[in-house]
Amino acid sequence: MKKQLHYFIFFTLLVTVSLSCKKNSGNTDYFVKIKQDGNWTTFTKVAGEFGPDLLDPSFTNLVIAAESNSGTEAFTIAIQGTSLSAGTYDTDNTTVASTSLVYITQATTSPRAHTVDASMVAVSRYMVNITSITATEIEGTFTGNFLYDSFNDNAANITEGQFKVKRIR
């Protein structure tokens, strides 16, 4: 299971990085919005993926990836399970193999803030509500308390968001 999770995290970051290689026509029909420190940020360089895991088809991956136009920020929601569909997924949910949110700043290649908990810090918890998965789009919302910033050993106060992304797979 741990090996599977490492592949999943690698795939999640790969999708995020691949966004930086694609040109965006500025289509505002697709977006990822996050509320950080009480302020809304909207990403329009976005994509979604929903389908069998490329390394283990017994798992299904759902990935929502966003990157700022400048390439200095990226945000990813990733859920992996054996039977995924529209619905609500909790980062503490034991019915799925993995649910994570990752926020990357300053164009680094390592997560600056994520749902991994640290000692002496309150538990980071999120609810991701996938409201619609079609052949062309993935849509939903999320709420939570914060993401733990392992690089700076503090919290990134990302508390809610919404998304509507083009499905690329």
3-state secondary structure at position 76: strand
The pLDDT, as a whole number, for residue 33 is 97
Determine the Cα–Cα distance for residues 74 and 37; give it in Å rounded to an integer. Answer: 16
| Greater model confidence, 9 or 153 | 153
Does position 95 have pLDDT exceeding 80, yes or no? no
Q: What confidence score (pLDDT) does residue 154 get?
A: 67
3-state DSSP assignment of residue 136: coil
End-to-end CA distance of the chain: 24
Q: What is the pLDDT of residues 29-53, one digit of tens each?
A: 999 999 988 999 999 999 999 999 9
Average pLDDT over the chain, rounded to whole?
78
- Find the range with the poorest average confidence among 11-15, 50-54, 154-158: 11-15
pLDDT at 24: 45
SS3 content of the chain, % helix, strand, coil (to 5): 10, 50, 40
Quick one: pLDDT at residue 13? Answer: 47
Question: pTM for the complete prediction?
Answer: 0.79
C-alpha–C-alpha distance, residues 156 and 101, integer Å = 12
**pLDDT at 92 exceeding the cut of 50:** yes
